[in-house]
Structures are given as structure tokens and as C-alpha cells.
Structure 1
Amino acid sequence: MPGPILIIKFGALGDFIQALGPMAAIRAHHQGRIVLLTTRPFIEFAEKSGYINDVWLDTRPQFWEWNAWSALRRALRKTHFERIYDLQTSYRSSFYHRLFFPDKPPQWSGIAKGCSNPHNNPNRDFMHTIERQAEQLRAAGVPIEPFNATHKLNLDWANVDVSHYGLTSPFVIIVPGGAPHRPEKRWPVDRYITVAKELIARGKTPVIIGKDSEKQFAEKITEQAKDSLNLTGQTSLLEIAGLARKATGAVGNDTGPMHLISAVGCRSVVLFSQGSNPELCAQRGEDVTILYRASLTAISPAHVIDALRI
């Protein structure tokens, strides 16, 4: 009887969404138990996907946290995995390959030194995430088609009731936040205010989502565009997907929620600066418009409104 399979994928959110296709392909290829090693934000979402049987929480221990490292090592060794798919392919996840020493590691797809099924394309870092992961799986003998386009997956499972938010009129999702250490990836909030006001004038409710730490952006928008709805810090990943299915459209910076929103088919306008390369990480979907300028200040609200086509 085949042994269990382990998938390693931590995040960030955009990367996790773009790994759904590989997870679906692995599920189709292996009929036995599949375990996902991930971080807390993705547990509920992953459990509902149907791609995996069990989720293990990786606490990402610091090097001095010996008890946590020992617990992880024991769990990996005693489960007797048949194969491990490292979809994170980071220094940390590759280090996990060493935790099997002195025993022989299981079959391993990734970039860990000495692994059985390496993705050894020297240009892998210059490939879009989706194409890079597809090539990695092919190298491990896993058929990736028809799972190599996230937006073509059956994501009906990524949905929950969002009626408690009371959205009865047409609405557009706004995602104005982003990584705090990457301000060059955030469109100026005054531009979002202008867009929100124009949406309201056209009979659309701006619905602002993001993390708790991004409330400052939402509050500035709602102060000026008073009919906006501020949901920052309130939505789960499944609720974001549920809202996206009902929205007229969405606009946001190159940040994780826009990957999920576009993947479930919502018309999406994503704003890119030279802070990230859309050829390597752009959102994919049935109706996605990428607006790229070296500086986001060169993108006007009129550009965004036109791209939304509402």
C-alpha cells in the first residue's frame, strides 16, 4: 500500500493561491493520504479544498527552539512519507530535507540538495510561479494538465454565505493595503478615495477589505467616501472568495487577496509598480487587467475606472 504524501506550502497568500493547481494535480496523481504542512492562516481554507486529508501546523520555529524542531523532526520521520512535494522551495523548507538524517529521506520534489526529484532548471527564478511549479511537478512525473491554470480549477468549495454583511446593492471590492515594508507597491490612498467616490456616483458600493493593520487606509477612504463599507480585519479567506463571487469587480494593489479574488472569476484590476514583476507573479483569472507603471503615481483614477468597465 502506498505511503502518505506530504505537501509543504507556507505562504504568502498569493503564493498559496497559485499553489492550488499543483495541489489539485497531486491529489489526482496520488489516491492515498495527503498531508499539508502549512501556517495558521491557511488551515481552514486548505481543509475545505478537498485536495488534502490532514493539515499540520508549522510554527516555523526559530533556530534556538529545539523542542519545536525536535517535534517536527519526529513527526516527519515517524509518518513514513512515500514522497514529499516542497512547493515552498525556500531555504527553510529545503532544510527540512535534512531532518531525516541519518535515515534516507523520502522521495522529494523540490530544490533541496541531494533530493530525488530536483527541479534543477537554472532559470526557475525567472519563471512565473504557476509555470515554475508546473515544471517542478512534471520533473517529478506528476501530470499537471488540466490543473496548471488556477482560475480554471473547480473552486466551488471556496465559498461561504456572506449575507450577514448586508450587501444588497452592486458593490466593488477595494484592496488598498499591502506589505508595510513595500510602500512602492501601494497606490496612493487619495487615488482610491477618488475611485470610491466615482463608484458611489455610479451606484456601486465600495467594499474595502484587508488586514487589521491596513485599517488606516480603509478609514481614510470611508471618511471621504461615506457610503463605503469597511470590512478590514473582518473577512476570512473563504469570505473574501464569497464576496468576490458576488462583486461587480475588484481593484487593488499586487497583494494576496487579489490572487484569490481573481481566481474565483471576479473582474479584477491589479496595480503593479516596479516593486514587483507581473511576468513572474501576476494574478491569473478569467477577467484580469494588469495596470503596470514603474511608479504607481503614474496610474490615474480614470485609468482604473476605465479598466473596471462598470
Structure 2
Amino acid sequence: MAAKRKRKRRLSKRKRAKRRRIAAVLATLIAGLVWAWIGSNMRALTGLAGAGPPRRGDAVRVVSWNLANFRGHASGHDLTRMREVIEALDPDVIAVQEIKDPEALAALLPGWELRLSAKGGRGHQLLGVAWRPERVELLDSAEHPELSIGGRVRPALSAYLRARDGGPDFWLVIVHLKAMPDSVEVRRKQWPKLVDIAADTQTRDGDLIVVGDFNTTGPPGGGRRGPAIEQLELSEALAPAGLRRLTNATGCTAYYDGRRRDAWKEPSEIDLVWVRELDESLDVDAQVHSGTHCASERCGDFRSTEAYPLHDYESVSDHCPVVVDLRRTDDD
């Protein structure tokens, strides 16, 4: 009789599988509720909230950001969101590219000091540096037309900056190299000129950060390995200047339409950061991080349409802000 009752209590294989499915659904629902409760805080702590990594201590924060033909028009850029991102990142210095309207940039950054290039190539895309005067002072700056290849593309802009209250002083060089795979030969001509610019800064201070849109898309027909091949070639070209590239912990810096040319956007890594010396402000294995949609989407493909846009990509910039933090120390 006991054995018979035991057999009745034993569930069939089908019922056991059904219970496991119900348990899995319940676990998923509970996890979703927990994430909804604490997710916003966790995303903010990890930098996945769509802005970028949180500040740590009193580091000097430098951000590089291609603002995608910025004119300050609300129809093209969500200015409220841009201010929100900048406030969340809390940078001391911002290196910007693709500025169409300097006055609009000044309006976006009230209280900041600005220095912009006079030229911007055929597309009139200016480069600039903005800094908080209460945190950082500008000691010198220069425009470098030799990088523009006879005026066809953007020049470089350099700024010699010093953080106040015992921070580092360093050169910051901002670039926006020629775009598109079929312009790789133009970029190859720009690389040695960038080496010369880096050499010129060393006569005053060896500490150097080179940032901006390097457009390392690879040559035509390079396929998925094309960008990596060009980045390796670029590393070799910049080596004589003593520059080393900081890896991007996020994994990408911008999105584009991709090879499928549909609503799915694919990540790329074309906004790079190179440094020379700064030994006391940066560890040997120091990394940079990307914000906005690069962080929130974790550099995975995403779908964005007119009906269902991914807001930061469509209404702020296809590029993400790239962040590098320097320890506050006098490294001379």
C-alpha cells in the first residue's frame, strides 16, 4: 500500500517539465521586477545609463566628442539631452569635432572657455577645445593647417592645458582625419604630419594626448578586418612620436548604417585616444570609456527607425563621447 501511494505522488515527466517552465518564467519575472527597482542605480554606477562612466575622485577628465555637424538647431540636436550628458560626464575639458556654428557651441556650454579652429576643410567642420576656467587654464594653442592637405580636409588644433590646484599640464591635439574607406591614402598622408605636430609639442612638454575622429574604417574591400588592419598600420606610423594607444573598455565609439543598409546600426571604433608620457597621471594599462548609446547598447547592434528611434543616436550624435581620466598630480 505504501509503495502504491508513493507511485501516485510521483509526477510524470511532462508535469515535471511544465513545473520547470513555470519556475523559469517566475524567475524571469522576479528578475525583471528587481531590475526595474534597482536597475537605474546599477546602470548609473556602471556607466550604462546612457551617459558614461562616473567620475572617480578628483581626476582630471578629458572628453572627445564628434558632435555630428553641430549647428545648435533643436531640429537636429536634442540640446537638453546634450546638456544632460555633459552634466553627467562632468568633464574638465571637451575636445569637439564637426562644429558648424561656434556661437551655438558657446550657448551649449555657458561658463566654459572655447578655442576653435579657423578652418574646417571643404565641409566647414571646425574642431575645438572647451574647458572649465575654474578647473583648467589654457597656456597656449595653435592651429595646424598642414594636416588639411591643402585645405581639403580639417586641420589639427593643439592646446596646452594645465589643471588648477596641483593637476597635470599637458598638450591636447585634436584631429578629424579624412573619412570613408576610399580616402585611406589621404589618411596615410596625414599620419606623418601628425607625427611632426607631436614632435613640435615635445619641445615644450612631453606630456601629450591626441584625440579625435581618426576614421579608421579600413581600405575599400577590407571587410570586417579592415578597421583593425588600418589601426595597426596607424600604430606603426605614430610610433616614432612615442605615442601609444589607450584601449577602449567599452569596445566602440560610434555607429553607422552598416553593411546591410537597413534599420540595424552597427558599431565601429574610429574615435581614438593616443598618449605620450603622462606616466604619473596614467597607468600602463589605462583605458578609455565611451558613453551614450555605445554604453547603453554595450556596443551591440541595435535597430533604430523613424517610428522607433534610439534617441541618443538619432538626436544627439552618431558618435559617442570618449572619456579619459588623468590622476591629479604634477607630473613634471
TM-score, with structure 2 as normaliser:
0.24
| Structure holding more strand per residue | 2
| Structure holding more helix per residue | 1
* Structure number with higher relative contact order (C-alpha < 8 Å, ≥ 6 residues apart): 2
- Bigger radius of gyration among the two: 2
TM-score, with structure 1 as normaliser:
0.26
